[in-house]
Chain A
Amino acid sequence: MKAKTADKIATGFIYAISGIVALILFAMLSFILVRGVPHLSWHFLTSPARAFEAGGGVGVQLFNSFYLLILAMVISFPIALGAAIYLNEYAKKNYFTAIVRTAIEILSSLPSVVVGLFGFLLFVVQFKLGFSILSGAIALTLFNLPLLTRSIETSLAQIPDLQREAGSALGLSRWETVLHVILPAAVPSIVTGVVLSAGRVFGEAAALIYTAGQSAPALNFGDWNPFNISSPLNPMRPAETLAVHIWKINSEGIMPDVNAVSAGASAVLIIVVLLFNFSARKLGMKLYKKLTSS
């Protein structure tokens, strides 16, 4: 009887807490969406920002965000994958791997503004890369790498050792087992982790303010030669992203419709991040189904 009552109280308590968390999230999201969605239009999503008059959009910033995201992912994914495979499949428990693990842990808890400042001093100033896509992509990589490594490592660790034993009992080398047995089985959860981290990178501002810069020069979307200064692909141009734009206009925006632009941009950011999150789970589940029942 007593155990039952305690159980009921505990369960109720847990429900209440989960409810509160869900409620806060829901309130926040609906606040941003209700405020922002009315300002969204094709024009807003595609036209460049205006500094002094009303009617500007976030087209360039949106493009910059995706471009930086893709670059950062292209750089960080292979490194994170390699590191995770090493740590989970090969590393013996010794002094060296303990240091690597601690380093990753520290890196992943580093505030992103610190990563941004480091990127500013080293890449922007020292290496003279300037405020550029390249500096921003490197900073994002530093920010993303430890988290992505750990997420992939967790995905690999979830594959039971039985699978590794099965591989070696069949005379497969460790590498053959990793490549053909462990990785394919881990793909769904790796993909989920990658997409989730993409959402995090997409919304990152602090690491980019002093690396990719706070200006978004107009782009010529007809010119895809990366060596031309107005080409969207040019990696050496400054590139304010959507998240940085929101931060910037809220602190020093002087256009007359600054509130509308800010609300709209926030809504776009949130919608994209939500899309990433939902598609991560969907994609992971779909891949898992495909793998387990072909």
Chain B
Amino acid sequence: MTNPNFEFKPASDFIREDAPERYIYNMDADKHEIAISTHDLQVFYGDNLALSEGDLEFERYKITSLIGASGSGKSTFLRSLNRMNDDVATVNGQIMYRGVDINTKNIDVYEMRRHIGMVFQRPNPFAKSIYDNITFALTQRGNYTKEQLDEIVETSLKQAALWDQVKDELNKSALALSGGQAQRLVIARALALKPDILLLDEPSSALDPISSAQVEDTLIELKNQYTIIIVTHNMQQAARISDYTAFFHLGKVIEYDLTRKIFTRPKVALTNDYISGNFG
């Protein structure tokens, strides 16, 4: 299951220096086939319980789709995984990543988000050049030579299938890109940090069918090196690209299985109703 070419960044990166000893990371976790898992995850917005009984395990180097009707808690779940909900919600429960519960005060969330990247529904490139969009977060934290940066820009743009279209205009503003190109730039920007897991919240729903298909192809390509969790409303998309699918309903995970099984022989009637378009 593990990819021999992929080098893990040390987990000690994202554990705060003042953390108690049990947080010192456990080597075996890297060999584990589970990239990230949640246990008894509960999310409250104020008093409103938006997600409960969140127990999911995500297999490494697979694509997992989160599907379900609007308001069923998919984004809430996804955003909890890299603590993007910290400011707006109360998140209870454990999120285990490489043997460490990352849902605690002992975690340096900024560093952790460099391991667990995120792409949103609407493309959100910075008002900077294409090149700077990709290198900016890197250069904020580390020292890189121009050659290293050039190489990272090229590699990540190639991974996001954007290199051929923009290689001659890397200094152009990213705001001039089309929606599909901008979304792939945003994916490249996330990849430049060499994350371990990539979370995507409806990354192609704001795009036209052609751009959407390009993003899908990109994700399938990336699967060899990244664990991908994607929220989508598009059943065909979920069926096409994902290995596993989790069906959310009213803030609970109703069914979680191989995509193939969910779409052919779901065990729960509700799942069947949803994928056959009877509600949602």
Contact = CB atoms under 8 A, between A and B. Distances in A.
Interface in B243-264: none
A170 B124 contact: no
Contacts of B172: 293-294
B129 interface: yes
A293 B84 contact: no
Instruction: Tell me which of A170, A172, A173 has the highest count of chain B C-beta atoms within 10 A of its own C-beta.
Output: A170
Contact of A165 (B84, B110, B112, B176): B84
Interface string B121-141: 010111111000000110011
A28 B118 CA distance: 56
A294 B169 CA distance: 10
Interface string A207-249: 0000000000000000000000000000000000000000000
B176 A292 contact: yes
Interface string B188-225: 01100100000000000000000000000000000000
A257 interface: no
B175 A170 contact: no
Interface in A5-47: none
A268 B143 CA distance: 53
Nearest to B83: A168
B contact residues, range: 20 to 34
Contacts of A176: 140
A274 interface: no
Contacts of B118: 169
A223 B118 CA distance: 61
B136 to A, nearest CB: 7
A15 B117 CA distance: 51
A195 interface: no
Contacts of A172: 110, 137, 140
Contacts of B98: none
B102 to A, nearest CB: 13
A171 B82 CA distance: 10
A181 interface: yes
B113 interface: yes
B120 interface: yes
A292 B186 CA distance: 16
B124 A163 contact: yes
Contacts of B127: 163, 181, 184-185, 291-292
A166 interface: yes
A162 interface: yes
Interface string B85-100: 0000000000000000
A165 B111 contact: no
Instruction: Tell me which of A166, A168, A181 has the highest count of chain B C-beta atoms within 10 A of its own C-beta.
Output: A166
Given A171-B193, A172-B110, A166 B173 contact: no
Given A162-B124, A163-B124, A180-B140, A169 B113 contact: yes
B70 interface: no
Interface of B: 82, 84, 110-114, 117-120, 122, 124-129, 136-137, 140-141, 171-173, 175-176, 186, 189-190, 193
Given A165-B84, A169-B117, A293-B172, 4 more contacts: A162-B124, A165-B120, A181-B127, A291-B127
Q: Nearest 8 CB-CB pairs, A to B?
A: A162-B124, A170-B137, A169-B118, A171-B113, A171-B114, A185-B127, A166-B124, A171-B110
